[in-house]
Amino acid sequence: MADSSAPTRVMMAVNESSLKGYPHPSISCRAAFDWMLSKLVRSNTDGFHLLFLHVQVPDEDGFDDVDSIYASPTDFQSMKQRDKIRGIHLLEYFVNQCHQLGIKCEAWTKQGDPKEVICHEVKRVQPDLLVVGSRGLGPFQRVFVGTVSEFCVKHAECPVITIKRKANEAPRDPIDD
Amino acid sequence: MADSSAPTRVMMAVNESSLKGYPHPSISCRAAFDWMLSKLVRSNTDGFHLLFLHVQVPDEDGFDDVDSIYASPTDFQSMKQRDKIRGIHLLEYFVNQCHQLGIKCEAWTKQGDPKEVICHEVKRVQPDLLVVGSRGLGPFQRVFVGTVSEFCVKHAECPVITIKRKANEAPRDPIDD
């Protein structure tokens, strides 16, 4: 078990907080990241290579803040530009942390349905492990919210670790994150 | 992230092979164990403390090999004794491997419904991580077989990692392991 072997490639799906908005990472994914560093990577920073994926969900109506039915192609263009910048800022948080700790990493964004895109990227990138944070909702809430983590455990073509948010880290409304 | 911090306590649920019988570990749990060593522990053997739990399922009719309706209390007694010895032999496999690699470990057996007992033991022992192997059955087979791993991901009070058996390690009948 010499660590001259190739580093363990850990892919991590990160998302933004629904409470604070971009570029703040969600409570769940920050908790998952911290857990991974302290419990898996530990002092063995050379043994791991982290891959951060942020999947951006296109707005269904195309306008989350703007209430207007007069839309021009320019509006869509600037919106896409804005989303892209936000996604990059989110990834910057994780890349900076890795840089400070001396852990090699890569980061990229994709658009689409998070659970589908994550599993697709696992197939493409073939990491050794996928880490996903979870709000840890109860069975009742899960029906309405649906969980990305549950889908990935079943469908991702690599081992998956689910890190539930701790009860004391949860905001008042459990759907927030 | 100095590794003077307490080691990461990884609990692993291990079971016997349905193909070869005791004391041979199942394909799934052997694969999960090997994966954990090569991808998580790596050379950092001091940073991890492994906890092996084997849950023995009591036979429903009390006799798997013996076809007899004339049962005495002595029969049950010797059966329990035999099961206990088998469980200890199974755990011995993992303990020996850890000993050779210089990884600290503990091992114990419990009786009952594996998914319930595993989650109960997680609550009692409070590991940092639970590792469970999975036969990786398709959605159709899963309906009939039920999976311990799926239950643990939802209910265990710690992060859970599911390691699916590789397709090329699967026996002809996917329910065997």
pLDDT at A7: 97
pLDDT at A168: 63
Residue B153 forms contact with A (CB below 8 Å) = yes
Q: What is the C-alpha to C-alpha distance for residues B140 and B109, in angstroms, rounded to an integer?
A: 31
H/E segment holding residue B32: helix B27-35
- Averaged pLDDT score across all residues of chain A: 81
Q: pLDDT digit string (tens) for A6-47?
A: 999 999 999 888 776 556 888 888 989 999 999 999 999 999
Check CB contact of B101 with chain A, cutoff 8 Å: yes
Give B-chain residues touching A42 at CB under 8 angstroms.
1, 3, 5, 8, 44, 47
Nearest to A39 among B2, B128, B160 (CB): B128
What are the chain B neighbours of A5 within 8 Å (beta carbons)? 38, 42
- B-chain residues within 8 Å CB-CB of A47? 42-44
pLDDT, greater one: A12 or A135: A12
Taken in order A161, A165, A166, A169, the sign of the CA dihedral is positive
A94: confidence class by pLDDT, cuts 50, 70, 90 = very high
**Total length of chain B:** 177
Answer left, alpha or beta for residue A4, where phi above 0 means left and psi between -120 and 50 means alpha. alpha
Q: pLDDT (tens digit, 9 = 90+) per residue, A141-176?
A: 544 444 788 888 888 999 999 887 766 666 656 556
The minimal CB distance from A44 to the residues B47, B129, B164 is found for: B47
Q: A128 and chain B: CB distance < 8 Å anywhere?
A: yes
| Alpha-carbon span B169 to B7, nearest angstrom | 31
How far A44 CA lies from chain B's nearest CA (Å)?
7
Is B29 in the A-facing interface, judged by CB distances under 8 Å?
Answer: no
Q: Which is nearest to B15 in space by CA: B36, B34, B35, B30?
A: B30
Q: What is the mean pLDDT of each run of 10 residues along chain B (177 residues)?
A: 78 84 78 94 96 84 52 74 84 95 96 94 97 69 61 89 72 59
Q: How confident is the model at residue A153, as a pLDDT?
A: 85
Q: Band the pLDDT of A126: cuts 50, 70, 90.
A: very high
Minimal-distance CA residue of chain B relative to A49: B39
Dihedral sign of CA atoms A77, A79, A84, A88 in order: positive
> Which residue in this structure is represented by tokens 């469970």?
B132
Please check whether residue A84 touches B, CB under 8 A: no
Q: Is residue B90 within 8 angstroms of chain A, CB to CB? A: no
CB contact under 8 A, A42 and B8: yes
Is the pLDDT score of A96 beyond 90? yes
pLDDT in the model for residue B84: 81
